[in-house]
Amino acid sequence: MIIKPKTRGFICTTAHPDGCAAHIREQVAYVQQKGTIAGAPKRVLVLGASTGYGLASRIVPAFAGRAATIGVFFEKAAEGDRTASAGWYNSVAFEREAHAAGLYAKSINGDAFSDDIKAQTIALIKADLGQIDAVIYSLASPRRTHPKTGVVHKSCLKPTGGAYVNKTVDTEKGTVGEVNILPATEAEIADTVAVMGGEDWEMWMDALAAAGVLAPGVVTLAYSYIGPEMTWAIYRNGTIGRAKEHLEETADRITAKLATHEGHAWVSVNKALVTQASSAIPVVPLYIALLYKVMKAKGTHEGTIEQIYRLFAERLASPQLDEEGRIRIDDWEMTDDVQTEVAQLWEVVNTDNLSILSDIVGYRAEFLKLFGFGLPGVDYEAEANPDQTLPSAV
């Protein structure tokens, strides 16, 4: 099959297996060139391991610390004339690279919110690794079926105060327009907290602790975002921000429960980056396109792999926390000079000057790369085999 990108708004419905493999090799090469991280965890469970920050959180301990990794994700294999999802191809490629390097890597594809996947994961840890030293919680999902009530909660991206009007970009058409979003209802806020808050993280840690598979000194880590004021109405003070507040409070509860393991739960506040999850948020893609322009000019731009390498190499061993007890790896994004420049550009950016003032070109390229398109050395006119089996599944 010759595979081309098919984009619809912020979704790409195709993915390229060889392109995704090239993307994995690029990230592995970055980590190898940066070098070994002393003290990196050796047995790592990554929830949401197939794309974005979770994928980087699997690659870094594996290739900078020779960690054994178990990755959990919810992806689709190819079917008929449909390609697999990008996260599927990423995971196939990750396992191949890991196995070639002599590393343990197995994956579980299914709904991480369910009791069944938690039980399968625990059984795999017991059978193969005994215990784990780190749990990375990096799920981003539009919905969650609650394992105890069966209720399907759907998250939404809305303000929680009044209606919100701001600039936004149609990344496909390259037009800057206005979004006007009505505020969320209390039920919508509660649903978003149920999906993206900390309840499932705590359920995972409870289940892993009860099964006796957490090693002494275990560390668990979940990811949050704060960002600048121009995005607060939709992000930090919006429905997703409420969920992140819940996630952050949950870290304290988990840490208290981990006392017997001398363990710790951390929340790391990460940089805004193009991922499948962030491209769905109104306003944020325009902010990211401006941010990339400014940070690339200053030489401080990072992608997920650079962020997570720095997190593991410089933050995890001796975390320096903000006043709320969070790890900050968004420090370069949030410097005054970067934020002042982005705010100035925000005021004047419009459809006519978008390609000059923002890095919309880089944004689009980065978005397509998430699906394995635009990687150097890949022949996109050649036949590709969409049917790829996860090596650990055979």
Is 250:201 a contact under the CB 8 Å cutoff?
yes
User: CA-CA distances (angstroms) from residue 72 to 135, 138, 182, 199?
Assistant: 11, 10, 35, 17
Q: Which position among 278, 358, 388, 392 is part of the footprint of ligand NAI (CB under 6 A)? A: 278
SS3 content of the chain, % helix, strand, coil (to 5): 45, 20, 40
Q: Could you say whether residue 202 binds ligand NAI (CB under 6 A)?
A: no
Q: Which position among 30, 94, 201, 223 is part of the footprint of ligand NAI (CB under 6 A)? A: 223
Is 91:390 a contact under the CB 8 Å cutoff?
yes
Q: Taking the mean position of all CA atoms in its chain, how far away is CA 244?
A: 14
Q: Could you say whether residue 51 binds ligand NAI (CB under 6 A)?
A: yes
> How do strand 152-154 and strand 164-170 relate by DSSP bridges?
unpaired
Q: Which position among 37, 72, 92, 125 is part of the footprint of ligand NAI (CB under 6 A)? A: 72
Residues 6 or more apart in contact with residue 305 via CB below 8 angstroms: 27, 30, 31, 56, 59, 60
Binding letters toward ligand NAI, positions 74-113, x by CB under 6 A: xx-----------x-----------------------xxx
Q: Which is nearer to ligand NAI, 118 or 217 (CB)?
A: 118
Q: Minimal distance in Å, beta carbon 110 to ligand NAI?
A: 7
Rounded CA gap, 44 and 62, in Å? 9
Q: Minimal distance in Å, beta carbon 108 to ligand NAI?
A: 9
Question: Tokens for 276?
Answer: 């499948």
Q: Could you say whether residue 386 binds ligand NAI (CB under 6 A)?
A: no
β strands within 42-158, DSSP E: 43-47, 68-73, 105-109, 132-137, 143-145, 152-154
Q: Which position among 15, 41, 43, 50 is part of the footprint of ligand NAI (CB under 6 A)? A: 50
Rounded CA gap, 159 and 371, in Å? 30
Spell 69-98 as b/e; 16+ CB within 10 A means b.
bbbbbbbebbeeeebbbbbbbbbbbbbbbb
Binding letters toward ligand NAI, positions 335-354, x by CB under 6 A: --------------------
Q: Which is nearer to ligand NAI, 170 or 302 (CB)?
A: 302
Beta pairing partners, 168: 177
Q: Could you say whether residue 48 binds ligand NAI (CB under 6 A)?
A: yes
Closest CA to 295 of 258, 345, 251, 249: 345
Binding letters toward ligand NAI, positions 129-158, x by CB under 6 A: ---------xxxx-----------------
Q: Which position among 83, 160, 220, 276 is part of the footprint of ligand NAI (CB under 6 A)? A: 276
* Interface stretch with ligand NAI, choices 44-52, 60-68, 291-299, 355-363 (CB under 6 A): 44-52
Q: Which is nearer to ligand NAI, 38 or 390 (CB)?
A: 390
Q: Could you say whether residue 270 binds ligand NAI (CB under 6 A)?
A: yes
Q: Which is nearer to ligand NAI, 143 or 351 (CB)?
A: 143
* Interface stretch with ligand NAI, choices 12-20, 22-30, 122-130, 223-231 (CB under 6 A): 223-231
Q: Which is nearer to ligand NAI, 63 or 204 (CB)?
A: 204
User: CA-CA distances (angstroms) from residue 372 to 78, 169, 194, 217?
Assistant: 15, 23, 32, 37
Residues 6 or more apart in contact with residue 381 via CB below 8 angstroms: 2
Residues tagged active-site: 235
Rounded CA gap, 236 and 241, in Å? 4
Q: Could you say whether residue 221 binds ligand NAI (CB under 6 A)?
A: no
Q: Which is nearer to ligand NAI, 141 or 262 (CB)?
A: 141
Q: Minimal distance in Å, beta carbon 157 to ligand NAI?
A: 11
Q: Minimal distance in Å, beta carbon 100 to ligand NAI?
A: 22
Q: Which position among 19, 41, 52, 263 is part of the footprint of ligand NAI (CB under 6 A)? A: 52
Rounded CA gap, 47 and 45, in Å? 7
Where do contacts with ligand NAI occur on this chain (CB under 6 A)? 48-54, 72-75, 87, 111-113, 138-141, 223-225, 270, 272-273, 275-278
